[in-house]
Amino acid sequence: MNQSAVPAVSPDTLEVVPLGGLGEFGMNMMALSWQDTTILVDAGVMFPEPDQLGVDLIIPDLTYLESRRSQVRALILTHGHEDHIGAVPHVLPLFDGPVYGTAMTLALVEPKLEEHAIDAGDRLKTVQPRDVVTVGPFSIEFIRVTHSMPDCVALAITTPVGIVVHTGDFKIDQTPIDGEHFDLHRFAELGQRGVLALFADSTNIDRKGFTGPEIEVIDAFEELFTSTHGKLVVATFSSSIYRMQILVDLAVQFERRVAFIGRSMVRNADIAQRLGFLRVPAGVQIRDADVPNHASQDVLCITTGSQGEPQAALPRISIDDHRFVRLGPDDTVVFSARPIPGNEKAIARATSHIARRGADVVTEAVKHVHVSGHGSAEELKLVLSLVRPRYFVPVHGEYRHLAQHAREARRVMAGAGTALQVLLAENGDVIQFDAQGARIAGKAPAGRVLIDVTRIGEVGDEVLRDRRHIAGDGVVVAVVAISRQTGALAAEPEMVARGFVVAESEAASIFGDASAVVADCIAASSLEERTDQGLMTEKLRVELRRFFKKRSGRRPLVLPVLMEI
């Protein structure tokens, strides 16, 4: 984590600093500054790796924003996925300005703020595509794009040095479920006016051709509705409102009742229905508690847990741990989502549990039950050819995706009148645009902050290190009672071990000798040391660590507990 001082923005210079989302999937966040005004684009999270024990969320390091606290004037949101809005509760207290987003996006933000006891007051400002808002020297236009959820927008930000286009996440779906088409015309108009810089989604640059439309999954699901004689259980992301709509429409066609299962699934379905983005005919939706009251062949369950998350609905259903939903031999379970890298083992575990229940499992590899929400290579090229920017910055992806997008951009623009300059940036790079051109001019503080939501706080490196330590070698607590006056032992030290494995025949001997090590350490210490609890605790920790390493070959986390009597 770089804690260097943040320099002031030079006059007549646009400064763009990506704080997350470059070189990784998730945690998307970018700051644009002109003189004393800074605006933010998105504030997302990413989810932890399996070895990041006890970590629930990862957000960008906000040091850069804290240094500009008085200059941050607004937060602009492109859409409502977690990797774009999940960090809003952590960012909102750092500035006093408005948060602009479409109705669906802000509706998904509101419960997050409530969970953090944040009263946004009138700061949440709803916008629609083609709306324009002004923040200091910036004029921000919202442009309709299609994605895997409704109400998504790209941004055209007019700055004193030119127009900056930020695509957000997108694919070009020409048969959108809600009839709201990608605004290709506006992208073309901007290209004709002249665009200074394009910041474009790189997620699927390594996929050839075009990404399929959302309706492409209908045929596969029709087959499943026809062939499934019991319950049909579909796991997908709780933000996949279009997928929900397809499933609800098919449930109506095949005369099944629909139950939304999982807290976030129920909440998002309610929000989408309230805003008119999800249409469920009267009498079709039932509660999860009502599932046992209907014949299995009359029920469709749409659940969370497509990534095998232990506390989500589907993994609980798979081990018969759900109060109302049980799987049987005639049931079919569908994973209607792409596995996020790192989640393969969790998904495989859930799949095996489902197989034990006798249910059939269908994944993307078996039937075409999922399409991506991100544009493939030809769609990304199309946007480039419409916008025709002077400078191009690929965003949203690992470095290999950004580099491949840069190569494709040079090919697309090879025949254009002006040469395209590509800026391959990473998180924290300070990208400057002025009358002389564009360049990466330095580094701002950037990094990651690990969040344990049960504590509503950060998880430091040392905490994560201790958790890994305990997971590998266990923990030994040495309970030591000493005299308050003399510091001498008042009773024999007691050793309490958890997760520290030694042969049963050796355990008594090792722990007995460990008690002797404690006694010897205290006896060899001066009165001043014995009556200094902090000093004595550290001495015992060092001695016991050395002892356990020598006797067992392991390094358990040693926690001496001194009690004065």
pTM across the whole model: 0.80
Residue pair 266/290 in contact by the 8 Å Cβ criterion: no
pLDDT of res. 215: 96
pLDDT of res. 1: 41
Query: Which of 337, 344, 365, 398 is closest to 204 using CA atoms?
Result: 398
Query: Which of 281, 271, 28, 282 is closest to 151 using CA atoms?
Result: 271
Residue pair 121/98 in contact by the 8 Å Cβ criterion: no
Beta bridge partners of 429: 443
CA distance 253 to 203: 35
CA distance 443 to 440: 8
CA distance 74 to 493: 59
Residue pair 153/103 in contact by the 8 Å Cβ criterion: no
375 is written with which tokens?
Answer: 């544009």
pLDDT of res. 55: 64
CA distance 151 to 147: 9
The domains located in the chain, with CATH, are 14-209+372-452 (3.60.15.10), 214-362 (3.40.50.10710), 466-564 (3.10.20.580)
CA distances from 48 to 313, 369, 453, 462 (A): 19, 26, 12, 16
pLDDT of res. 524: 86
CA distance 283 to 204: 39
Which of 201, 288, 331, 429 is catalytic? The answer is 201
Which of 374, 396, 401, 405 is catalytic? The answer is 374
Collect all residues with Cβ–Cβ distance below 8 Å to 264 and sequence separation of at least 6: 238, 304
Could you tell me the end-to-end alpha-carbon distance of the chain, in angstroms, rounded to an integer? 44
pLDDT of res. 311: 79
Number of H helices, E strands in the chain: 16, 27
DSSP state of 418: S
Residue pair 548/514 in contact by the 8 Å Cβ criterion: yes
CA distance 560 to 565: 16
83 is written with which tokens?
Answer: 């990797």
Residue pair 56/457 in contact by the 8 Å Cβ criterion: no
pLDDT of res. 4: 43
Residue pair 427/406 in contact by the 8 Å Cβ criterion: no
Q: Give residue for tokens 């479920």.
A: 177
pLDDT of res. 5: 45
If 0-12 CB within 10 Å is exposed, 13-18 middle and 19+ buried, where does residue 136 land? middle
Residue pair 129/156 in contact by the 8 Å Cβ criterion: no
Residue pair 397/25 in contact by the 8 Å Cβ criterion: yes
Mean pLDDT by 10 residues, the chain (565 residues): 52 94 93 96 84 71 92 97 95 96 97 92 97 98 97 98 98 96 97 96 96 96 97 96 97 98 96 97 96 96 92 90 94 94 86 94 95 96 96 95 96 80 95 95 88 53 57 80 77 83 76 89 79 76 87 83 77
CA distance 199 to 168: 8
Would residue 374 show up in a list of annotated catalytic residues for this protein?
Answer: yes
